[in-house]
Structure 1
């Protein structure tokens, strides 16, 4: 049945953005929505403006029909009920339970783990482990990208502990962290779901050696383990009292809300981390309860599908007009491309169209002088998301933030309007889509809601395409071959053999 809906979608007229605004004076009321967060007396919010996309009433109606055909309501209910939604691995995906929304027993378990984490965080802040000025957080993938993003976004001012996130196996990454930290006042957080990840454990061993070589008598006593395999952490040498577990049903790129968020809580303090969870929970409730075009992540997925499936756009750009959100494009690359970069549906049959576009982006205004030439005048049609905050994150003259936001809003307007010219080199085609997410402020609450919005947007896209967003087998093959190289005795193609020989490996 989905093929019939896609055929209907492909046959609909595709008005220009200018035509859409001219024909519908109430367009903003439909496609720009304020989501209020927090208590009424301390409320804050986010504006989600999808009016400069090509969605119209006819396409929305067809996409809502597609959502019904693909059983969006049923799959969403299964997600929140803690049912098996990761069918290839036979698992639930219970990241929302970490925020208090989900199956009762999973929510209770997450609350217990959070209580344990809060106790350790607060004890460290009180000096129970001596003076702690620095934390080196060692992980990779979802165990590193989320904490790095959150710490950078929320802890630039007044961090309680100086956090350094190390993910790359390249020793330069560790050395950079070592240079910034005093071993006598440094703790380590080792984040690995299995506590066997090669890159993470190699980096952890080197960090232990650095502590020992610099006079720390009991380096393992300076480690907190963040894992779904507590017994492996204890075997490695971490005392049970400093092991922070999380559930096996929490996937790596969705794990920021679990004990993987320990470095965030260390930097911010537990009350702010709790606010971060609350902001995500508010988005969970919205996603669970709103239907059709009123559901913000689903609305965004409709637009994503419009550009990927109907217009053949192979990429989507994300530009954060806020230095605090500089790592957001990197985070979204993993979230979206690892989740939805698939070639088969949940039933194992080939997908019948493109799935995840390539997510890329940067920081405004830097990106304007690097890549916006292509966005405005290139031959590639690239949907753009702009993300900004009304409140600045600095104490400099107000002109800084005024110019920053003026540039952000101007780029969206220019992409849409274009500009005619008798000189072809100076002509702008216009009719180029963008969406804008405008936060009242970058706070734990709004930031939590922003990240959860993108998680649910990713899930909604997966449902519309009939794929499983919760496995990631595509990352395994390269790891397997790397392990074979380490073990030796395996022959590879002539090019790889030559490279290994030149590098002196094997």
Structure 2
């Protein structure tokens, strides 16, 4: 297929656009602009069967310890399942515990949102600062940004970076007496999170007093002892479980800042959408399964056609943080070079994910997508209905999205360019000099994913769709999508640099850099 042009596949099959599509949970996926034939798709499904995708899918949903290096289940689907669902970890039903935490969250959020819970001076909480990093930040931040128009509770803010400029910029806009902090750390030892939380506590104490901490801080953690030592009442700690990975955790108490801003009802809508996608992923046949199709097509482009990266182009300003969220989801999950059994792979695993919202992206890197020598497949994500009153602008947005996908696939030949320029009156040497610069190679693959609108239900479904896409790819590659040991090594070295007494050796370059920095920071 590497010599096949997608346009020729359309010419040979008038029904291609209809046949190469999939629809469920309100989403419509058109993958007809991929460089695949009917035979290609069947071979990819055979690859999925060879790698026992359906068996691994059941292991995932049955609570088996698919995270084998940490001997854990990966049961984030249980976080958004109805009360009656029967998800189990080691034979024990987890639903009652999940819904007990959700009920506590809802009761607490209603108290804050209604003004029943007040700060130490008796004033209402108007702003909530989520302090976390990675999965404890990106998911809640994305949801609050995407659904910002529906926020009717305290204004959400997010601090993640250990760079103090992040925290300082947020605190400069807030008042201590009306601000609440949600400290999100499973172990309550995450360096970036704890440093930010300690400085936030000092900010509260300096303006109010130490007793105010219990009225202005809550925790999302499993380490009650550390939470209480910080000054947070255990009654104001919300737990989650070791079978919840950080990048899959926004559906848990990690989403507390979401619920505070948007309310329990909208948070429930988010969970309902994700659960609907879970059900689709588990029940739909491979040929009509949205996560399976997206995963297999990504494998095809990356491992077979040699495309090194994957572009995400959501044509929705509200999804401006979707790419950042997806980068952690995919590259932290599948950025591995050994199989589950520890054998080194001899094939590429995750491509680099990147992108931005359209139409901004068109005026940034789309030049490279159209005319650069490398091919970068694109997932276009387009809401059908606008959530604003400017209908004419939405029509232009839709037109741009459809046009970019078409142009990437069709391209423009030298003959077509020459004919256009001749029609404009260009001729001779000037004509021939101009032609090469205006040729578009085309044959660039893309998916078009239509979603009804950016509302809680469909946003939840979209995020679950990409979670399951990531899992599909991990199964094909035979790797564990649920650990992240590469992240831990950098943490160890950072602690070594901060503690000169440590016996962990550093390299000569780092030693010299530390020396230079010490001289300049005096």
TM range (shorter): over 0.9
Which residue of the partner structure matches residue 82 of structure 1? 63
Q: 1:402-481 maps to which residues of 2 (within 5 A)?
A: 402-421=395-414, 422=418, 423-481=435-493
User: How far is the alpha carbon of 1:135 from its aligned partner?
Assistant: 0.2
Task: Please say if residues 221 and 239 of structure 1, whose CA atoms lie closer than 8 Å, have aligned partners that are also in contact.
Answer: no
Pick which of 22-31 and 495-504 moved more: 22-31
Change (3 A) 1:57 1:13: farther
CA distance in 1, matches of 2:68, 2:150: 43
By how many angstroms is 1:15 displaced?
3.0
| Residue aligning to 2:222 | 228
Q: What's 1:495 paired with?
A: 509
Residues 367-422 of structure 1 show CA distances to partners (whole Å, capped at 9, x for unaligned) of 11110110000011100011121222333x32221111111111001001101124
How many Å apart are 1:215 and its aligned residue? 2.2
For the aligned residue pairs, the C-alpha RMSD in angstroms reads 1.6
Q: Name the residue aligned to 1:201.
A: 194
Report deviation, 1:158: 3.8
- State the shift of 1:311 in Å: 1.2
Deviates more, 1:285-294 or 1:494-503: 494-503
1:82-132 CA-to-partner distances (Å, cap 9, x unmatched) read 110001110000100001166151222211111111111112112222111
Structure 1 residue matching 2:115: 3-state secondary structure = coil
Give me the whole-angstrom Cα distance separating, in 1, the residues matched to 2:141 and 2:105. 18
Asked whether the 8 Å contact 1:75–1:463 carries over to 2, the reply is yes
Residues 489-498 or 96-105, more deviating: 489-498
| Aligned 1:299-314 pairs, distance under 5 A | 299-314=293-308
Q: Does 2:97 correspond to 1:109?
A: yes
Moved more, 139-148 or 286-295: 286-295
TM-score, normalized by length of structure 1? 0.93
C-alpha contact 1:82 1:102 (8 A) present in aligned 2? no
Q: Quick check: 1:33 aligned with 2:22? A: yes
The C-alpha deviation readout for 1:28-58, integer Å capped at 9, x for no partner, is 333222323xxxxxxxx22222121123211
Work out the CA distance in 2 between the residues paired with 1:276 and 1:102: 20
CA distance in 2, matches of 1:265, 1:206: 25
Structure 1 residues 253, 350: closer, same or farther in 2, change over 3 A?
Answer: same
User: 1:223-243 CA distances to partner (integer Å, 9 max, x unpaired)?
Assistant: 111113334322322112111
CA distance in 1, matches of 2:491, 2:242: 21
Question: Are the aligned partners of 1:80 and 1:102 in contact in 2 as well (CA < 8 Å)?
Answer: no
Structure 2 match to 1:180: 173
Between 454-463 and 237-246, the greater mean CA deviation after superposition = 237-246
**Structure 2 counterpart of 1:119, from 102, 107, 110:** 107
Question: Does 2:41 match 1:47?
Answer: no
Indicate whether 1:141 and 2:134 are aligned.
Answer: yes
What is the CA distance between 1:157 and its match in structure 2?
4.3
Name the residue aligned to 2:156: 163
Q: Secondary structure at the match of 2:149?
A: coil
Deviations 1:228-276 (A, max 9, x none): 3334322322112111101111000000000000111111100000000
Can you give the 5+ residue segments of structure 2 that lack an aligned partner in the other structure?
119-123, 419-434
Cα distance in structure 1, aligned partners of 2:223 and 2:244? 12
Matched, 1:331 2:325: yes
Matches of 2:471 and 2:317 in 1, distance apart? 27
SS in 2 for 1:363: coil
1:20 aligns with 2:9: yes
Corresponding residue for 2:425? Answer: none
| Other structure's SS at 2:181 match | strand
Does structure 1 conserve the Cα–Cα contact (< 8 Å) formed by 2:213 and 2:232?
A: no
Between the aligned partners of 1:439 and 1:111, the Cα distance in structure 2 is: 29
Contact kept in structure 2, 1:418 and 1:430, CA below 8 Å: yes
Could you tell me how far apart the structure 2 residues matched to 1:13 and 1:379 are? 15
**2:146 alignment counterpart:** 153
- Relative to structure 1, the CA distance from residue 213 to residue 13 in structure 2 (aligned partners, 3 Å threshold; closer, same or farther) is closer
CA contact (8 A) 2:150 2:262 kept: no
C-alpha deviation, 1:14, in angstroms: 5.6
Whole-angstrom CA distance in 2 between matches of 1:435 and 1:319 = 10
Which residue matches 1:7?
none
SS at match of 1:218: helix
Match of 1:189 among 182, 188, 199: 182
- 1:166 shift after superposition: 0.5
Greater than 6 Å deviation, 4+ residue runs: none
Aligned length, in residue pairs? 486
SS in structure 1 at match of 2:251: coil
Instruction: Tell me if the contact between 2:22 and 2:289 (Cα under 8 Å) persists in the aligned partners.
Output: no
Between the aligned partners of 2:51 and 2:65, the Cα distance in structure 1 is 17
- Counterpart in the other structure of 1:68: 49
